[in-house]
Amino acid sequence: MYPITKREKLADKIYLMDVKAPRVAQYCEPGQFVIVKIDETGERIPLTICDYDRTEGTITIVFQIVGASTERMADLKEGDAFQDFVGPLGCASELVHKETEALKKKKILFIAGGVGTAPVYPQVKWLHEHGVDCDVIMGARNKELLILEDAMRAVATNLYVATDDGSYGFHGTGTAQLKELYDRGIRYDHCVAIGPMIMMKFVCILTKELGIPTIVSMNPIMVDGTGMCGACRLVVGDEVKFACVDGPEFDGHLVDFDQAMKRQNQYKTEEGRAMLKLQEGDTHHGGCGNCE
């Protein structure tokens, strides 16, 4: 069992939990994820790691209530425990594999949309701990839905906050905030965007126009977390990839967002899943060992 050592409500239907999982905390890196399961009958839920403490042996997860399983998770209290807490899974952020001195020469920007702030935070924190500066744009529909602002401000070189309704910070989307910074003469060499797929799509349209290489995290489309269900299948350039085993990070300028969003909607129904399996044949699954 994996006990919950901290539980905090960050915003409406958004919760943070610290979970005692020493082996996961020992080996995880920014960008990776875990799969949690409340009990024997619970659903397996993939969640990107928000933070970790190797000394305390804890992993921080942030989740939003979107269905019955996450509703049950939100009812858990400190002292309760998850039956399963599997990880670290997926590939770590490419930034942790770069030479620190090379990173210091780049002007790096992160754009976080909504709950996407949670997986952005550990990457920004890692860069801060290694002496690498980076800017962050945090976006949300309104001020009440912003999360981890103080934590992010402590590790970002410059933090820009944008709200769709203008209730706090810049009035507009994170993409519009980037354009405003660009118009002010601020230039970036590298961008990482994490959030809803539609947000990442429009960030990539803009950064491609501005000539900024961009990485996106396709964690929103993961379901099974092992590549066997086929939910996170996507096309990157001319290749078929699976977010959970090949990612979750990919070159945003190569991701076919329109196909991924259309496929995600189709995957929600049993009839749609059957049709996708028929259409995609041997490329429907990944990581199961039976597909090329």
One domain for residues 211 and 134: yes
168 and 68 inside one domain: no
The better pLDDT of the pair 146, 268 is held by 146
Report the CATH number that the domain containing residue 68 is assigned in CATH: 2.40.30.10
Task: Check whether residue 132 and residue 176 sit in a common domain.
Answer: yes
81 and 124 both lie in a single domain: no
How high is the pLDDT of residue 226?
A: 59
Mean pLDDT of 208-224: 82
Q: Is there a domain that residue 196 lies in?
A: yes
Domain with 71 in it: 2-89
In a domain, 141, yes or no: yes
What is the arithmetic mean of pLDDT over 45-73? Answer: 91
In-domain check, residue 238: no
Residue 291, pLDDT score: 42
> Among 197, 217, 237, which residue terminates a domain?
217
Residue 283 confidence class, pLDDT cut points 50, 70, 90: low
In a domain, 276, yes or no: no
Q: What is the pLDDT of residues 70-81, one digit of tens each?
A: 889 999 999 999
22 pLDDT higher than 50: yes
Domain count, the chain: 2
Residue 19 parent element (H or E): strand 14-20
CATH code for position 143:
3.40.50.80
- 124 and 83 both lie in a single domain: no
Residue 58 near residue 21 (C-beta atoms within 8 A) = yes
Q: For the residues 19-36, what does the mean pLDDT come to?
A: 94
What is the structure's pLDDT at 234?
80
One domain for residues 195 and 119: yes
26 falls within a domain: yes
- What CA–CA distances, in Å, run from 80 to 7, 37, 77, 268? 10, 13, 6, 31
> Domain end: 193, 217, 241, which one?
217
Q: How high is the pLDDT of residue 246?
A: 78
* pLDDT of 278 above 60: no
For 114-153, the pLDDT digits (tens) are 999 999 999 999 999 999 999 999 999 999 999 999 999 9
Going by C-alpha positions, the residue among 7, 147, 146 that lies closest to residue 73 is 7
Q: For residues 35 and 224, is the Cβ–Cβ distance under 8 A?
A: no
